[in-house]
C-alpha cells in the first residue's frame, strides 16, 4: 500500500526498494508477496500456531530428558559438522560459537525452525508462533508435573528445565 501511495505506513525505504518487491510485481502484477501455496492459506484460526505448540511441547519434554548444558560437540565423535560449500560433503564446523553450542540451544533452534517455517510460508503471523511455543511449553510442564508424581517414593528430585525465555525451573 505504501509502495503504490495508497497508504503511508512507517516502512523502511530499503524494504520498499527491495528486489523481491520488484520481482513480485513483475511476476504477479502486485507488490504483495505471494503465498507459498497456490490454494492460499488454510481456513482455520491462526492463533496460536499448532505446529509451534507441538514443537514447544516436544522441545520441553526433550529438555527434561537431557542435560541441556552439555556442549553438543561432546556428543559426537567427530565434532560438529556442516555442509561444504558445494553441498556434497561435510566438513568440521569451525565457527566462533562452536564451543558454545549446547543441547538446549539445538533443541530451541529446532522448535523455532518448525514454527517459523509456517510464518515463512505465509500461513501464520509471528505472534502465532511465539504464543504457540509458550503454550506448548506450558502444556509439557503440566504433563511433567503429573509425571513427577508417578515417581513418589523413589529417589527422584524432579525435572530441571531451561525455558524458552532463559529461566530455569524445577518441575
- pLDDT higher than 90, residue 30: no
Catalytically annotated residue among 44, 77, 85, 96: 44
No. of helices (H) and no. of strands (E), the chain: 5, 4
* Residue of higher predicted confidence among 8 and 153: 8
Determine the Cα–Cα distance for residues 13 and 102; give it in Å rounded to an integer: 38
Select from 143, 153, 155 the least CA-distant residue to 64: 143
Cis check: omega of the bond before 158, within 30 degrees of 0: no
Which residue in the block uniquely carries the three cell numbers 481456513?
A: 43
Catalytically annotated residue among 51, 63, 118, 124: 51
- 21 — pLDDT class (breaks 50, 70, 90): confident
- pLDDT higher than 80, residue 42: no
- 122 — pLDDT class (breaks 50, 70, 90): confident
Tens digits of residue pLDDT in 70-96: 887 777 677 788 999 999 999 988 888
- Indicate the pTM of the whole model: 0.71
* Ramachandran class of 127: left when φ > 0, alpha when ψ lies in -120 to 50, beta otherwise: alpha
pLDDT at 3: 85
Whether 51 is a known active-site residue: answer yes
- Contact between residue 49 and residue 115 where contact means Cβ atoms under 8 Å apart: yes
Phi, psi of 67 (to 5 degrees): -80, 105
Strand partners, 160: 170
Positive or negative: CA dihedral 107, 54, 130, 41: positive
For the chain, the domains span 1-34, 35-170
pLDDT at 11: 84
Amino acid at each position: 500500500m505504501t509502495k503504490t501511495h495508497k497508504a503511508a505506513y512507517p516502512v523502511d525505504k530499503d524494504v520498499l526498494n527491495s528486489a523481491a518487491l520488484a520481482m513480485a510485481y513483475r511476476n504477479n502484477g502486485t507488490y504483495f508477496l505471494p503465498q507459498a501455496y497456490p490454494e492460499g492459506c488454510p481456513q482455520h484460526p491462526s492463533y496460536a500456531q499448532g505446529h509451534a505448540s507441538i514443537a514447544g511441547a516436544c522441545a520441553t519434554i526433550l529438555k527434561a530428558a537431557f542435560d541441556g548444558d552439555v556442549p553438543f560437540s561432546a556428543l559426537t565423535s567427530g565434532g560438529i559438522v556442516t555442509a561444504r560449500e558445494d553441498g556434497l560433503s561435510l566438513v568440521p564446523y569451525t565457527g566462533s560459537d562452536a564451543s558454545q553450542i549446547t543441547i538446549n540451544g539445538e533443541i530451541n533452534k529446532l522448535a523455532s525452525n518448525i514454527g517459523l517455517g509456517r510464518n515463512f510460508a505465509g500461513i501464520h503471523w509471528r505472534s502465532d508462533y511465539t504464543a504457540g511455543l509458550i503454550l506448548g511449553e506450558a502444556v509439557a510442564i503440566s504433563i511433567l508435573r503429573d509425571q513427577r508424581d508417578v515417581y513418589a517414593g523413589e529417589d527422584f528430585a524432579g525435572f530441571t528445565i531451561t525455558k524458552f525465555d532463559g529461566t530455569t525451573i524445577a518441575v
